[in-house]
Amino acid sequence: MDFIDLKTQQKRLRSLLEERIGAVLNHGQYILGPEVQELENTLSRYVGTRHAVGCASGTEALLMLLMALDVGPGDVMVTTPFTFIATAEVIAMLGAIPVFVDVDPETFNLDPEKLRLALEALKRGDPSLHPFPNTARQASVRGVIAVDLFGVPADYSELESIAEEEGVFLLEDAAQSFGATLHGIPACRFGHAAATSFFPAKPLGGYGDGGMCFTDDETLAQKLISIRVHGQGSHRYEHVRLGINGRLDTLQAAILLAKWTVFKEECRLRQNVAARYMMLLEQARPDLVVQKVPEGVTSVWAQFSLLAPSMQERDAIRERLQRAGIPTAVYYPIPLHLQPAFASLGYKAGDFPVSEDLAKRIFSLPMHPYLKPEVQEHIIEVVKS
Ligand SMILES: *Cc1c(COP(=O)(O)O)cnc(C)c1O
Q: Is 320 exposed, middle or buried (0-12, 13-18, 19+ CB in 10 A)?
A: middle
As a residue count, the chain comes to: 385
Nearest atom (ligand 1) to Cα of 59: 9
Nearest atom (ligand 1) to Cα of 209: 7
Ligand 1 pocket, mutate which of 55, 79, 87 (most atoms under 8 A from CB) = 87
Residue 207 has pLDDT above 90, yes or no: yes
The DSSP secondary-structure symbol of 6 reads -
Cα(207) to centroid(ligand 1), Å: 15
Cα(300) to centroid(ligand 1), Å: 15
Nearest atom (ligand 1) to Cα of 57: 7
**Residue closest to 337 by CA, chosen among 306, 315, 358, 311:** 358
The set of protein residues with a Cβ atom below 6 angstroms from ligand 1 is 57-59, 83-84, 86-87, 147, 173, 175-176, 197, 199, 209, 211
Those residues with Cβ within 8 angstroms of residue 228's Cβ, 6 or more apart along the chain or in another chain: 53, 55, 64, 243, 244, 246, 247
Percent of the chain with pLDDT over 90: 99
d(CA 10, CA 207): 10
> Which run of H or of E encompasses 261?
helix 250-284
d(CA 211, CA 205): 9
Cβ atoms within 10 Å, residue 9: 18
Ligand 1 pocket, mutate which of 199, 209, 213 (most atoms under 8 A from CB) = 199
d(CA 244, CA 323): 45
Q: How sure is the predictor about 236, in pLDDT bands with cuts at 50, 70 and 90? A: confident
Nearest atom (ligand 1) to Cα of 83: 13
Residue nearest ligand 1's atom 2 by CA: 175
- Helices 250-284, 7-27: crossing angle, 10 deg rounding: 170
Share the mean pLDDT of the chain: 97
d(CA 353, CA 357): 6
Residue 265 has pLDDT above 90, yes or no: yes
Ligand 1 pocket, mutate which of 148, 176, 256, 331 (most atoms under 8 A from CB) = 176
Cα(160) to centroid(ligand 1), Å: 22
Q: How sure is the predictor about 385, in pLDDT bands with cuts at 50, 70 and 90? A: confident
- What would the pLDDT profile of 87-127 be if each residue is shown by its tens digit? 999 999 999 999 999 999 999 999 999 999 999 999 999 99
**Residue closest to 29 by CA, chosen among 237, 326, 254, 312:** 254
Mean pLDDT value of segment 63-85: 98
Q: How sure is the predictor about 163, in pLDDT bands with cuts at 50, 70 and 90? A: very high
Mean pLDDT value of segment 257-278: 98
Nearest atom (ligand 1) to Cα of 202: 1
Cα(176) to centroid(ligand 1), Å: 7
pLDDT given at position 172: 98
Cα(59) to centroid(ligand 1), Å: 6
- What would the pLDDT profile of 323-364 be if each residue is shown by its tens digit? 999 999 999 999 999 999 999 999 999 999 999 999 999 999
For the entire predicted model, the pTM comes to 0.98
Q: How sure is the predictor about 300, in pLDDT bands with cuts at 50, 70 and 90? A: very high
Residue 289 has pLDDT above 90, yes or no: yes
Mean pLDDT value of segment 273-292: 97
Residue nearest ligand 1's atom 5 by CA: 58
Q: Is the dihedral of CA 312, 316, 317, 319 positive or negative?
A: positive
Cα(58) to centroid(ligand 1), Å: 5
Q: How sure is the predictor about 33, in pLDDT bands with cuts at 50, 70 and 90? A: very high
Residue nearest ligand 1's atom 6 by CA: 58
Residue 384 has pLDDT above 90, yes or no: yes
Cα(156) to centroid(ligand 1), Å: 20
d(CA 236, CA 159): 39
Residue 280 has pLDDT above 90, yes or no: yes
Q: In the chain, what is the straight-line distance between the N-terminal and C-terminal CA atoms, in Å? A: 19
d(CA 153, CA 147): 7
Residue nearest ligand 1's atom 1 by CA: 175
d(CA 131, CA 122): 9
